[in-house]
Structure 1
Amino acid sequence: MKTPILLLHGALGSKEQFVSLREKLSFEREVFSLDFEGHGKSKSETNFSIELFAENAINFLRENKISKIDIFGYSMGGYVALYLVLKHPDLVGKIITLGTKFDWTPMFAECEIKLLNPEIMEVKVPAFVESLKQLHGTQNWKNVVLKTAKMMRDLGDNPTLKQTDFYKINNETLICLGELDTMSTQTESKNVAKLLPNGSFQEIKNLKHPIEIAPVDTIVAVVNNFMNTNN
């Protein structure tokens, strides 16, 4: 029986973005997804952090009596997955990250935070704001944006994962990056893949960062190819 897989969404995202991916991956194995605390229909009064989201995933596994899981982490979800496996290696089998930012600096964080002002977003990117309202609700989307901005500032000042942490992660890990993705870089993605004892890197042609516009069949093929090897 194949190991089930858990899909972890990115910053400002929710499990609703994985509906098509989850459906197609379900032909091969059991697939789970969750909303990180404060996202989607999950409410929270707590500040966002990678540690909090990893704990959300651990609690989800315990609640569903899942003893071993493979993980596909998109963007921030990939960062959460690596932190989770660093702290609880026995719970996780293989990991795939897609479009994950690893090289967090104060300068990069500030550039991202400038884009996360709800009032400006309503004027500059109204269509994106509407999508956030659909994901998180009209009363909660601003909280998600503001808490995400604070989390990014914290990551810039003090990255949750240090370079020495990657050496300690022995799980088979595939670091993926879209050819047209500007959130991360090939340099940092390949560097992390080299630091991981069982890491590898794969570029996905013609792929941009937003998961909403990613061709689902392409992602499914990458996930199944990696997860099914010796599984």
Structure 2
Amino acid sequence: MSLLNHKILGEGKPLVILHGLFGSLDNWMTLGKKWAEDRQVILVDQRNHGNSFHSDDFSYQVMAEDLLKLLNHLQLDKITLLGHSMGGKTAMEFATHHEEKIEKLIVADIGPKYYPVHHHTIIKAFYSVPVASLQSRNEADDILAQQIPDFGIRQFLLKNLAREKNGFRWKMNLDVIANKIEEVGKSLNQNAGFGKPTLFVRGSKSDYILNDDLNLIHSIFSDSRLETIENADHWLHAEKPQEFFQIVNSFMC
């Protein structure tokens, strides 16, 4: 049985955090350490990401099954589950199938609806980097900059670059993610349901959760509410960490 790579911080009531597409548990280390002052925090690398195993299977169903295996291995019940973007979709998929495992659910800047694929530029940029012959991380940054001008996004993406004895490699399973990118946008089963307390958090500058989506959200997540962080985009936890921390903390208490 392949277990997801994970890191456990602190002690107390468990909070499990799932990163988004092209991310890893490292993206949540700063906030995780803050929450770990009062509770146990389990940071997780999803399959085909970070230091977790690679697999040709890549869907929300199998990612939810991965999480169930990990929770059973750690003997965890009654968790608070937090997921951002793709991790939020995994969290929603898990919650609607394993409600008994969850006390509270937090979904960051993603809804249960279908999203058209919009990651072609990033995938193309990844493939433009000759990782086997790279001389430095700066060289990779210069190449990515030709297609991704935003410095912050490039720094996020470059966390996937791992140095080896003879060069570099991508940590994530780029080929499978690229070939199955349609899976990332798939909608939740709209006949599903989850009745435990649920918090959706969106950025005011992001278009991932629109006001028109609220009816669908409430039809599946009957005890849910939405908070908006002003002047934040899709990576709201990185752009406005203090505001995000306070909103989530208030909900968990």
Q: TM-score, with normalisation over the residues of structure 2?
A: 0.76
Which structure is higher in helix share?
A: 1
Contact 1:38 1:45 in 2 (8 A): yes
Post-superposition CA distance 1:107-156 (Å, at most 9, x none): x22x3335422335744138656643433534235733x43344331355
Contact 2:160 2:172 in 1 (8 A): no
Question: Match for 2:241: what amino acid?
Answer: V
Question: Match for 1:186: what amino acid?
Answer: L
Contact 1:69 1:92 in 2 (8 A): yes
**Candidates 113, 116, 135, aligned match of 2:120:** 113
Q: Distance in 1 between matches of 2:19 and 2:178?
A: 16
Q: Distance in 2 between matches of 1:11 and 1:207?
A: 18
Contact 2:105 2:197 in 1 (8 A): yes
Question: Match for 1:139: what amino acid?
Answer: R
Structure with more contact order per residue of length (Cα contacts < 8 Å, sep ≥ 6): 1
Matched, 1:161 2:188: yes
Going from structure 1 to structure 2, the CA distance change for 1:129 and 1:13 (only over 3 Å counts) comes to same
Matched, 1:213 2:214: no
Matched, 1:92 2:102: yes
**Candidates 209, 215, 223, aligned match of 1:198:** 223
RMSD: 2.5
Aligned partner of 1:187 in structure 2 is: 211
Aligned partner of 2:16 in structure 1 is: 6
Q: Distance in 2 between matches of 1:102 and 1:6?
A: 19
Q: Distance in 2 between matches of 1:93 and 1:222?
A: 17
Going from structure 1 to structure 2, the CA distance change for 1:89 and 1:142 (only over 3 Å counts) comes to closer
Q: Which consecutive residues of structure 1, in runs of 5 or more, have no partner in the other structure?
A: none
Q: Distance in 2 between matches of 1:79 and 1:188?
A: 18
Going from structure 1 to structure 2, the CA distance change for 1:142 and 1:174 (only over 3 Å counts) comes to closer
Post-superposition CA distance 1:42-76 (Å, at most 9, x none): 13132321112112211111121112211111111
Question: Match for 1:140: what amino acid?
Answer: W
Identity %: 22
Question: Match for 1:193: what amino acid?
Answer: I
Matched, 1:125 2:161: no
Shift of 1:189: 4.3
Shift of 1:95: 0.5
**Candidates 166, 169, 189, aligned match of 1:139:** 169
Q: Which consecutive residues of structure 2, in runs of 5 or more, have no partner in the other structure?
A: 1-10, 130-143, 163-167
